[in-house]
Each structure stands twice: as C-alpha cells, then as structure tokens.
Structure 1
Amino acid sequence: MPQLSLHSPLGPITLSEEDGKIISLDWGWGRDQTETPLLCQAREWLDNWFDDPQKAGPFPFPLDPYGTAYQKKVWSALQEIPVGQTTTYGKLAQKVGGSPQSIGQAVGRNPIPILIPCHRVVGTANLGGYSGDGGVEDKAWLLQLEGAALPHHA
C-alpha cells in the first residue's frame, strides 16, 4: 500500500492509498514513502489547507475509509460540516441516528482525520476528545486555524 508522509504544524503525518483512494491519515512518519500522483496531490492540498483552510476548500480526492456502515454514515456527515463551523455529538446523532455516545465512538475511529473533519464535532460544554497525538490540544489548534468558536473546556 503506497504511503507518503509530510511535515505539518501538528508534527509528521502519513497518508495511505489503496486502489486510487485515500484510506488513512496517521500521526507519525511512515516507513515506506511512495510518491503516487494521488498522494502527491493530497500532500499539496494538505500543505495549502494548513496555510489557509478557508481557501483550500473541501478535500477534492476520493476517500475510502474502512469501517462499518454506521461509521461511514457518520463520517459522511462530518464532511458536510463547513470549515470554521462545529456541531455537537448530540446534533450529529439527531441528524444520522444513534446516540451521542455512538457518534463519539464513530468519530473516534475515523481513520482519515483532518480530511474527514472529526475535529469539528464538540461537546456542548467542552471540546470532547481527539485521537491525534496531541489530543484535545490538536483539536483546539485545528479549530482555531479554521476560525471556529471554541466551547469553554475544563
């Protein structure tokens, strides 16, 4: 499976491709580096996104995350949240079905963070969790980069 790593403001991240689609974004530097056209385009998009998320626009390349039908439904809904905006676990549960807890579990298992913007889902009184290496601090940083209002967090 081709992988390509890049330096980001959050540290090194690695994109993985399978059958012409992005299947994961992982924290850290990948062992193997393969510059496929898709991975190079995705790396360039991410570089631009980190410079100005509003200008970069939605991720324009195909994604194919591994997951259950319910997880994919949640991840699809995440991609509809505009840059610089947030929603809550509860509101997302009302939209796609399920409970806030099941939304939190699906969001936490998102294999393509940033590109599937799970950082845009917050609690009603706090940020909630985040699976990136820096945890909630990374989530807050991503939201601030996008210009989103942050809930008060304890």
Structure 2
Amino acid sequence: MSFIYDAEFWVAVAFFIFVGIVWKVGGFNALVSGLDKRGTMIRAELEDARILREEAQRVLADYQKKRQEAEAEAAEIVRTARVEAERLAADAQTKLADFVTRRTRMAEQKIAQAEAQATADVRAAAADAAVKASEEILRKDTVSSGDALLAKGLAEVRAKLN
C-alpha cells in the first residue's frame, strides 16, 4: 500500500471526488447545455452570415447591372454628342459657305455699280466735252477751229477714260 503515499494517487482521488461533486450538483448538464447554447448561437451566426453574404451578392449584382446601364447610357450620350457636333459642324460649314457666297455676290454688285457709275461719269464727261466743243464751234464759225476743238474734246475724253 505504498500507493497511498503517492501524490499522483491523491490527485486522482481528488479528481474523481471533484467530478462526482460536479456531476451531483448538475455541472455536466450545465456544461452540456452551455455548449448546446453556444452551438445554437454559432449556427444562428453562420445563418446570418450566409443571409448577409447572399444579400451582399444581390447588392453587388444590382450595382454591376446599374454600372453597366450607366456605361451604356454614357456611351449613348457620347454618341449623341458626336452626332450633334457633326451636325453643328455641317451647319456651320453651310452657313459659312452661304456667307461667303453672299459677300461675293455683294462685292460683284458693288463692282458692277462702280463700273456703271464710271461709265456714266465718262459719258457725262464726254457729253460735257461735246457740249463745250459745240459751244466753241457755234461761237466760232470757222471749221478749222471746230476740228481743233473736237480733237481737244476727244483728248479730254481719252484722258478721263484712262
């Protein structure tokens, strides 16, 4: 009976007495129910995490769909803006061509008016010279002086035409 004096023996006896007291008081039932509660709580948390994950996947899918729709809308806006810019450029080109045509026509009209005015001025000058020459001829009855005056009038007309 030397084992009675061993420390390991008394540790084992104390352990079994402790286990017996814990079992008698209901400690094992409390331990098992605590573990069951903990397992239930963990299962509930896992279920909540699964639900949150599914919800997050739905939200992600919604955002991806919205992003794709926004990208498509942005592409449509860019396409529309390009078409509008091309239309505006074509309108501007047409307006510029019309403007140049109008200005050219106006310049041609001004040139024609200036030519007509110059012709009228030359005719008026020629008429004035002819009238002056006629007056001189009528004042002087000599033929030779009339020829000289006519030559002088023609010279004046030529000078004004040049």
TM-score for the superposition, normalised by structure 1? 0.14
- Higher-strand-fraction structure: 1
Structure 2 length-normalised TM: 0.13
- Structure scoring higher RCO (CA < 8 A, sep ≥ 6) equals 1
Rg: which structure is higher? 2
Query: Which structure's residues are more often helix, by fraction?
Result: 2
